[in-house]
Amino acid sequence: MSSILYDLCTRVPLLKNLFVSSIFPSVCEKLGQSAADVERHTVDEKLRKVALEFASSKGKHSEMAFELDWQPDYSNCNEE
């Protein structure tokens, strides 16, 4: 899914020209379930672990943990 969105957003010069239609529920259920997606998640977790270990060795574990735990605030999306 991410590769599709990337491709769409890089080929459309203006977001107003980007048309997105409904996605079938069966497609949504399969998102993130492919072998490539599972491998990507595994690699992300390994990178996260190594990043924390590296930060710890430099005395920056709490700062790195704070960065990795950051979550976007979507509470105002409807008003935007």
Each residue's pLDDT tens digit, 1-52: 677 777 777 787 777 777 777 778 888 788 788 898 899 999 999 999 999 9
Task: Say how far apart CA 14 and CA 79 lie, in whole Å.
Answer: 21
Cβ 65 vs Cβ 56: under 8 Å: no
Per-residue confidence (pLDDT) for residue 77, from 0 to 100? 77
Name the residue type at position 19: F
Of 65, 47, 45, residue with least CA distance to 56? 65
Of 68, 41, 40, 39, residue with least CA distance to 52? 68
Each residue's pLDDT tens digit, 48-79: 999 999 999 999 999 999 999 998 888 887 77
**Cα 47 to Cα 4, 52, 62, 73, distances in angstroms:** 24, 9, 17, 24
